[in-house]
């Protein structure tokens, strides 16, 4: 049981297919690991172990598929973010308003994953309604970073990232708006991907026609992430933005990886974004590894114009569509971050929304022109390393006070506006042994090329083998 948690997801699925291990073996290994480390990290507060065992037994008793479908997980346990429904399982959205909510049916993505042999072991922790840079809520408390349990794993997919790093699960589902998948991946030393809008079904959200929020995969290494994306990707009639999966699978693409010709790196978009100095230096050094692969690395970045303001305007509108009714009915039970986002949307004029859409279109055009010269754009994945688990946001970024509660996400939110695929890859550690990550962004619908480049860089850096880790408590770094 102890050795099973050290398998990669790809290794585990291979053993499952050969019947060298069973789905029930993995469920029990996951359950044992969760029991051992949850007191230290609080990453998966809602468990559904009996449901998982029943699913494992059904898979074990079923005849093997005549030909394995792409993305076949074969009985691999995984975590689902407590923001989407799993039939028969408590789904709280991190809010006391839904403390006793039992989902009647599964989200379309969960149904897809379970049909491909994924076994839901539990629901990973989130901030209330997945709003916030720190994973803490009134129902379950806060999640801690396994690298140093004094630190946050980030938000809002902090539970999933921490669970992966500590070996509770092999794969974790997440969502991303302004970095909710990417920043926790960076803070916890795992791999996470914000996919192109429409690559993975969102089900039937209230913001049905908005490309801002996406569902996506998180894993301990790039090949595992590619496997998970193969299971997630494809057309879903409930989500009008979705489209068919590509002809070549993502795991196949990773296994045939070729180095990019030319990549661009920027630590701060020409000084437009505050990023801690040590983070910039670690990332710049890691990117140079591409030169050993025959790739040209240049310091360059596209102009970002008024992207920060445009993102906040469009984000406000998204919150208005999604959560305004909660503000009207339960204002006294919502946290300040939620109120701030919704009220920002309420104050905006139609002209301001029109301006933001025009600015977004201009930014997309600028990035398209930039990618005529470069295959990838690489930046730090986060403006700071992980900070205290007891504060909602980093107190300072590069020695300066953040302008607002979204300032720490600006590296990520700019990419959100473009709709381009973006992957976070661990690339090193700071002086306090906090993980640092790179954000690798590719061309439109260019997930395969991003995954290929990330896989080659991952092999060069040699960090993936450090997971899973034992949660430990270290010193609290100064801000």
The 3 state secondary structure assigned to the chain is CCCHHHCCHHHHHHHHHCCCCCHHHHHHHHHHHHHHHHHHHCCCCEECHHHHHHHHHHHHHCCCCCCCCCCCCCCEEEEEECCCCCCCCECCCCCHHHCCCECCCCCHHHHHHHHCCEEEEEEECCCHHHCCCCCEECCCEECCECCECCECCCCCCHHHHHHHHCCCCCEEEEEECCCCCHHHHHHHCCEEEECCCCCECCCCCCCCCCCCCEEEEEECCHHHHHHHHHHHECCCCCCCCCCCCCCCCHHHHHHCCCCCCEEEECCCCCCCCCCCHHHHHHHHHHHHHHHHHCCEEEECCCCCCCHHHHHHHHHHHHHHHHHHHHHHHHHHHCCHHHHHHHHHHHHCCHHHHHHHHHHHHHHHHHHHHHCCCCCEEEEECCCCCCCECCCCCCCCECCECCCCCCHHHHHHHHHHHHCCCEEEEEEEECCCCCEEEEEEECCCCCHHHHHHHHHHHHHHHCCHHHCCCCCCCCCCCCC
pLDDT digits (tens, 9 = 90+) for 386-400: 999 999 999 999 999
The residues annotated as belonging to the active site are 81, 156, 180
User: Residue 337's pLDDT is what?
Assistant: 86
Residue 300 pLDDT > 90: yes
What is the chain's mean pLDDT, rounded? 97
Residue 471 lies in a domain: no
pLDDT of amino acid 170: 98
pLDDT of residue 395: 94
What is the rounded average pLDDT of the residues 458-467? 96
Residue 298 lies in a domain: yes
Q: State the pLDDT confidence band at 354, using cuts at 50, 70 and 90.
A: very high
In a domain, 473, yes or no: no
pLDDT of residue 180: 98
Asked if residue 478 belongs to a domain, the reply is no
Q: Is the pLDDT of residue 66 over 90?
A: no
Average pLDDT value for residue range 43-67: 95
CATH number at residue 62: 3.90.1300.10
> Does 89 fall in a domain?
yes
Q: Indicate the pLDDT class of residue 63, thresholds 50, 70 and 90.
A: confident
On whether residue 475 sits in a domain, the answer given is no
> How many domains in the chain?
1
For residue 404, the model assigns a pLDDT of 87
Q: What is the pLDDT of residue 148?
A: 98
Confidence of residue 78 (pLDDT cuts 50, 70, 90): very high
What is the structure's pLDDT at 64?
Answer: 79
**Region 86-113: what's the mean pLDDT?**
97
Selected residue with higher pLDDT from 232 and 66: 232
Q: The domain containing residue 311 runs over which residues?
A: 4-466
The reply to whether 380 falls in a domain is yes
Reported as a pLDDT band with limits 50, 70 and 90, residue 73 is very high
Query: Does pLDDT of 120 surpass 70?
Result: yes
| Predicted local distance difference test score (pLDDT) of residue 479 | 80
pTM: 0.98
Whether the per-residue pLDDT at 1 is higher than 70: the answer is no
User: Tens of pLDDT along 303-339?
Assistant: 999 999 999 999 999 999 999 999 999 999 898 888 9
| 147 within a domain of the structure (yes/no) | yes
Q: For a pLDDT cut of 90, what percent of the chain falls above it?
A: 95
């Amino acid at each position: 049981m102890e050795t099973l948690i050290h398998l990669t997801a790809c290794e585990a699925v291979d053993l499952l297919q050969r019947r060298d291990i069973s789905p029930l073996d993995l469920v029990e290994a996951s359950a044992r690991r969760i029991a051992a480390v949850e007191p230290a990290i609080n990453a998966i507060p809602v468990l559904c172990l009996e449901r998982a065992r029943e699913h494992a037994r059904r898979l074990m008793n079923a005849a093997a598929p005549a030909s394995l479908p792409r993305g076949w997980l074969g009985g691999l346990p995984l975590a689902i973010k407590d923001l989407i429904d799993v039939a028969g399982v408590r789904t709280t959205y991190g809010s006391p308003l839904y403390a006793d909510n039992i989902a009647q049916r599964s989200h379309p993505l969960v149904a897809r994953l379970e049909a491909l042999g994924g076994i839901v072991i539990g629901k990973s922790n989130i901030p209330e309604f997945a709003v916030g840079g720190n994973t803490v809520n009134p129902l379950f408390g806060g999640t801690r970073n396994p690298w140093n349990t004094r630190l946050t794993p980030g938000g809002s997919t902090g539970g999933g990232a921490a669970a992966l790093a500590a070996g509770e699960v092999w794969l974790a589902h997440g969502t991303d708006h302004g970095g909710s998948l990417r920043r926790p991946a960076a803070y916890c030393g795992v791999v996470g991907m914000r996919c192109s809008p429409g690559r993975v079904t969102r089900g039937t959200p209230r913001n049905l026609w908005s490309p801002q929020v996406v569902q996506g995969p998180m894993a301990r290494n790039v090949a595992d992430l590619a496997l998970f994306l193969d299971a997630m990707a494809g057309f879903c009639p409930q989500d009008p933005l979705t489209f068919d999966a590509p002809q070549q699978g993502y795991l196949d693409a990773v296994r045939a990886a070729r180095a990019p010709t030319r990549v661009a790196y920027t630590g701060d978009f020409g000084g437009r974004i505050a990023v801690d100095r040590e983070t910039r230096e670690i990332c710049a050094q890691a990117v140079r590894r591409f030169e050993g692969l025959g790739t040209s690395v240049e310091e360059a970045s596209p102009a970002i114009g008024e992207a920060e303001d445009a993102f906040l305007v469009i984000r406000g509108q998204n919150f208005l569509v999604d959560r305004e009714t909660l503000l009207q009915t339960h204002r006294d039970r919502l946290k300040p971050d939620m109120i701030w986002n919704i009220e920002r949307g309420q104050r905006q004029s139609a002209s301001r929304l029109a301006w933001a859409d025009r600015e977004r279109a201009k930014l997309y055009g600028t990035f398209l022109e930039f990618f005529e010269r470069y295959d990838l754009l690489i930046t730090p994945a986060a403006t700071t390393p992980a900070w205290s688990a007891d504060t909602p946001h980093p107190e300072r970024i590069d020695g300066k006070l953040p302008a607002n509660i979204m300032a720490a996400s600006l590296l990520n939110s700019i990419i959100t506006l473009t709709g381009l695929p973006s992957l976070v890859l661990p690339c090193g550690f700071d002086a306090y042994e906090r993980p640092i990550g790179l954000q690798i962004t590719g061309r439109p619908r260019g997930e395969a090329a991003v995954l290929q480049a990330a896989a080659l860089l991952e092999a060069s850096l040699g960090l993936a083998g450090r997971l899973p880790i034992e949660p430990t408590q270290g010193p609290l770094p100064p801000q």
